[in-house]
Structure 1
């Protein structure tokens, strides 16, 4: 149920042909803004937490693999990793098997950050889904899954790699676009 005191502005007339797309634009912008506010409290930019989540779950990774996984580019990933390294959350080491590769791993010092990131994502979830019951949350996840699959199909039709697919061709469930995930607060477009 919506709050009648909250006014959602109408989109520009040029967006009249895409009301769902405009709603997604508005929601994504607000979601990223709120995520940024919460993440700044622990010294992260939006997207760096996704990079850390992958490292915490999968262990050390080649930087080139992280670039592909998070649909980033090498320069943006390098900046994000350098910031995290300066903060003491990751360590970069040369690959023992490929001199051209760098291995990125979460440090033990990042363990308290993981707890903070988990709490931030819980807060973000509460802020995002406030007013929705379990059925509303499930319906939202289902609808967003349809939207994601539609966009993946469009990407495939263009012959481009789809940013939210993992290497198996399945849609990712990271909760943020891979481009945002690796940006370290900077646009990758």
Structure 2
């Protein structure tokens, strides 16, 4: 006897959103896209020996120069222990240097090293490839419109959460 209802195994293969997500299809789509984008970024960065997120930290340092570790934590909107672990790994590979802040010996300054210059080029190239993979099939007008709409969504979420870290 059949019930007319798909089995759980059949449901898993339909790509249909969970029933609860039907009240938020855009939020569900954004969540799926963000997860897939992070996975694709991880694959692109693996070739340059970085984990996802480390490139954002490096971008911040390349753009701003030496900054306090607390500024990185705030800008990346990450837990301090996560940033510390990222910095330890990047320091071990010679891409960053930490030193006491001469203005406040209790604070730590973080800066990109000269050795990170090659990494800078590799990250730029990886992000360029990721951009093309992400936007494949979209014409220039669609790309511009997607960027405009995502900026609006980001602004809505920033206003709602009152928690907008620096853009990295």
Residue 101 of structure 2 contacts residue 109 of structure 2 at CA under 8 Å; is this kept in 1?
yes
Which residue, 60, 78, 85 being the options, matches 1:54?
60
- The whole-number CA distance in structure 2 between the counterparts of 1:145 and 1:105 is 29
Q: How does 1:33-182 map to 2 (within 5 A)?
A: 33-156=39-162, 162=163, 164-166=164-166, 172=167, 174=168
Unaligned runs of 5+ in 2: 1-12
**CA shift for structure 1 position 65:** 1.1
CA–CA distance in structure 2, aligned partners of residues 74 and 143 of structure 1: 31
Q: CA deviation at 1:149?
A: 1.1
**Whole-angstrom distance in 1 between the partners of 2:42 and 2:94:** 20
Deviation at 1:165, TM superposition (A): 3.7
Q: Say if 1:88 and 1:8 are closer, same or farther in 2 by CA, change over 3 A.
A: farther
Paired positions, count: 156
Match 1:15 to one of 10, 18, 21: 21
Deviations 1:82-122 (Å, cap 9, x if unpaired)? 00000100011111111111110100110000000000000
Question: TM-score w.r.t. structure 2 length?
Answer: 0.89
Larger relative contact order, structure 1 or 2 (CA cutoff 8 Å, min sep 6): 1
Identify unmatched segments of 5+ residues in structure 1: 1-6, 157-161, 167-171, 175-189
The structure carrying a bigger helix percent of its residues is: 2
What CA RMSD, in Å, does the superposition of the two structures yield over aligned residues?
1.4
